[in-house]
Amino acid sequence: MKVQRYVLAGLAAIGLAVTSACSSTDDAAAASTTPESPQSVSATSVPAAADNHTIGVTSLGGREVLVDEAGRALYLFTKDAAGVSACSGECLVKWPVLAGPVTAGAGADPAAISTITRPDGGSQATYAGKPLYYFAADAAPGDTRGQGAMDVWYLVGADGEAVR
């Protein structure tokens, strides 16, 4: 019984953290409009960092977009500057980074792939200069639940631009 209480308390804390993910003083109101409820976000829905990720292009929802080697959709954040991530702290709970280094798979331009060093010292893959992220609520390969979230998170096209 005690263990169940601790698990439930932990899940409640995760839900609170996810609710505030990606909010800041200028977009706190927009954070409440994310397409997924906190209960749908789990730490197991995003692949753990690996040494050998591959970026490829596939068709998801009728759009040609970047995916990792498992077919999980990759996103960009329009508030990022070229080669600099603006997502930190609680934002990373909902939008985990694609850790670098990565290689080019089918349809991806090898010259567009690079990495940046994050302020926390970690490595993040970029495509056409844009840092790449997962959406934690994308539970399975092919999910695109983060598309258009808060009008700042978008799937990444083969050209490295936001797919709107």
Q: CA-to-CA distance for 22 and 78, rounded, in angstroms?
A: 12
* pLDDT, position 1: 43
Answer whether 83's CB lies under 8 Å from 126's CB.
yes
* pLDDT, position 47: 55
Q: CA-to-CA distance for 42 and 128, rounded, in angstroms?
A: 29
DSSP 118-134: -TTS-EEEEETTEE-B-
What is the dihedral sign for C-alpha 158, 62, 72, 152? positive
Answer whether 155's CB lies under 8 Å from 74's CB.
yes
* pLDDT, position 52: 80
* pLDDT, position 66: 98
Query: Of 38, 43, 37, 33, whose CA–CA distance to 12 is shortest?
Result: 38
Q: Which residues of the chain have pLDDT under 70?
A: 1-51
State the pTM of this model: 0.73
Segments making up each domain of the chain, as ranges: 2-163
pLDDT in tens, 10-51: 433 333 333 334 443 333 333 323 333 333 343 334 555 556
E strands, 61-119, are: 63-67, 75-77, 102-104, 113-117
* pLDDT, position 120: 87
Q: Which two tokens stand for residue 65?
A: 């977009």
